[in-house]
Amino acid sequence: MTVSLEQEINPWEAQSARFDAATKKLNLDEGLVKILRYPNRELIVHIPVSMDNGKLEVFTGFRVQHSIARGPAKGGVRYSPDVTLDEVRALASWMTWKCAVVNIPFGGAKGGIICDPHKMSPGELERMTRRYTAELVEFIGPEKDVPAPDMNTNEQVMAWMMDTYSMHMRQTVTAVVTGKPINIGGSRGRREATGRGIMITCDQAIKKFGLRPENTRVIVQGFGNVGSNAARLMHEAGYKIIGIIEVDGSIYTKKGIDIEALWSYREKNRTLAGFTEAEKADPTELFQSECEILIPAATENQITSRNAAKIRCKILAEGANGPTTAAADEILAANKVFVIPDILCNAGGVTTSYFEWVQDRQGYFWKESVVNEQLADIMISSFNDVVRYADTHSVNNRIAAYMLAIDRVAYTVRQRGIYA
């Protein structure tokens, strides 16, 4: 069946294509397929915000809970001008599968607000976040649905969400969100966790190719929280980061970029542009350059049927959610690219969110070494589970991850029984 590019890049279609392939392979009962395919609940809110110019603006926000079968719904909130309900639905389902792949007791959710956060003042962002949270008060909670940061949201946004929810509850409820600042119930290691998880899965993957970090060239797309931490930790571990692709400047150097220096440069200048210790590069060319590991850590649909054949990495480590379309999967598989699928590769973030939630509920906080050790444990065993599943069932890593996850959720739904 041929699909248009527009259809190919619709995240809900991308999620559904893999879901259909996996459930077919699993030979899953038709009724269960229907239950797991669609989100449980979807909330759309239109929220007024007083802007700095004295006018009122109304923003549209979403929160989709795909599943609560294995525990409270869990997933981030993104701020972006292009957020759509279909995208949030797909991202919510991916959270269900992601939490199941790493076997943590959560379902899946996602939220978003259509806005351009780069054009808003801190005050406007705070008022928008608080009003959005107020609209979600009955919908979220430590036992119901636990938001976290995602694209363009951060620890500060989580602090505002936690505070707003707590004001409505008339008590401090730290476990309502994760990814908070450490002094108000955040976990040590959470900020770096997604990047660390990417590195851990890459460490496992390179072993399969007989590589060591020193002879592994890495290109990273995106230098936000995920990409920059993955690059920094991998650089520290000896990997050669030869390219960074960012909207405000892409850079390349054969000998490997000094990520510490780049990090300080970005802290000081708020941009990568003008960094002189590497050459300026064309982003499209760099994305298609030869390397051992390519890490798309920016946004969806970076690898489609249009460019998949031009990707020249051995290992594709998906730091972003949904960077590869379903049609591109087939091309990558034919070219023997070893894909570490998003729902495994970037699961370090939500896994450490789980640790944060546990710590908040216990009121007892772990040392960073304990967090990192527990994270490594889960990421390594999940990586091995997926790769073994792929071998046993003769499917690619992505379909293996979906099958493993869907099977776990389906098992729980069956065990609980269906209240129909």
Q: Catalytic residue numbers?
A: 110
CA distance 240 to 197: 18
Shortest reach from residue 68's CB to ligand GLU, in Å: 14
Nearer to ligand GLU, 96 or 216 (CB): 96
Instruction: Of 64, 229, 79, give the one whose Cα is nearest residue 151.
Output: 79
Stretch binding ligand GLU (CB under 6 A), from 73-81, 203-211, 254-262, 304-312: 73-81
Q: Which residues pair with 316 in a beta bridge?
A: 294, 339
What is the layout of strands, in order, in the sheet containing 145-149? 41-50, 56-67, 108-114, 73-80, 145-149
Shortest reach from residue 255's CB to ligand GLU, in Å: 33
Shortest reach from residue 252's CB to ligand GLU, in Å: 28
CB atoms within 10 A of CB 346: 28
The site that binds ligand GLU (CB under 6 A) totals a number of residues, namely 12
* 14: alpha, beta or left? (left if phi > 0; alpha if psi -120 to 50): alpha
3-class secondary structure, 176 = helix
According to CB under 6 A, which one of 65, 133, 178, 250 is a site residue for ligand GLU? 178
Shortest reach from residue 71's CB to ligand GLU, in Å: 12
Shortest reach from residue 394's CB to ligand GLU, in Å: 28
E strand or H helix that includes residue 405: helix 397-416
CB atoms within 10 A of CB 177: 32
CB atoms within 10 A of CB 135: 16
Nearer to ligand GLU, 187 or 397 (CB): 187
Stretch binding ligand GLU (CB under 6 A), from 69-77, 128-136, 309-317, 333-341: 69-77
Shortest reach from residue 89's CB to ligand GLU, in Å: 14
- Residues recorded for the chain: 420
Nearer to ligand GLU, 321 or 325 (CB): 321
Packing angle, helices 190-208 and 348-362, rounded to 10: 140
Nearer to ligand GLU, 178 or 216 (CB): 178
**Window 291-350: residues binding ligand GLU (CB under 6 A):** 321, 346, 349-350
Nearer to ligand GLU, 74 or 196 (CB): 74
Instruction: Of 381, 355, 375, give the one whose Cα is nearest residue 366.
Output: 355
Q: Confirm or reject binding of residue 75 to ligand GLU (CB under 6 A).
A: yes
* 221: alpha, beta or left? (left if phi > 0; alpha if psi -120 to 50): beta
Nearer to ligand GLU, 324 or 353 (CB): 353
Q: Confirm or reject binding of residue 150 to ligand GLU (CB under 6 A).
A: yes
Q: Which residues pair with 77 in a beta bridge?
A: 111, 149
Shortest reach from residue 268's CB to ligand GLU, in Å: 27
Q: Confirm or reject binding of residue 213 to ligand GLU (CB under 6 A).
A: no
Nearer to ligand GLU, 154 or 271 (CB): 154
Amino acid 93 reads S
Q: Confirm or reject binding of residue 175 to ligand GLU (CB under 6 A).
A: no
Shortest reach from residue 75's CB to ligand GLU, in Å: 5
Instruction: Of 296, 303, 306, 302, give the one whose Cα is nearest residue 4.
Output: 306
CB atoms within 10 A of CB 415: 8
CA distance 79 to 154: 10
State the number of CA atoms in the 13 A half-sphere of 235 facing the CB: 21
According to CB under 6 A, which one of 18, 66, 70, 74 is a site residue for ligand GLU? 74
Nearer to ligand GLU, 91 or 257 (CB): 91
According to CB under 6 A, which one of 148, 159, 286, 399 is a site residue for ligand GLU? 148
CB atoms within 10 A of CB 247: 12
* Residue with tokens 């389902």, as numbered in its chain: 93
* Tokens (6 digits) for 212: 């060591």
According to CB under 6 A, which one of 11, 76, 111, 185 is a site residue for ligand GLU? 76
- Contact, 101 vs 401, CB < 8 A? yes
Residue nearest to ligand GLU (CB): 76
Stretch binding ligand GLU (CB under 6 A), from 51-59, 74-82, 167-175, 213-221: 74-82
**What residues make contact with ligand GLU under the rule CB under 6 A?**
74-76, 148, 150, 178-179, 321, 346, 349-350, 353
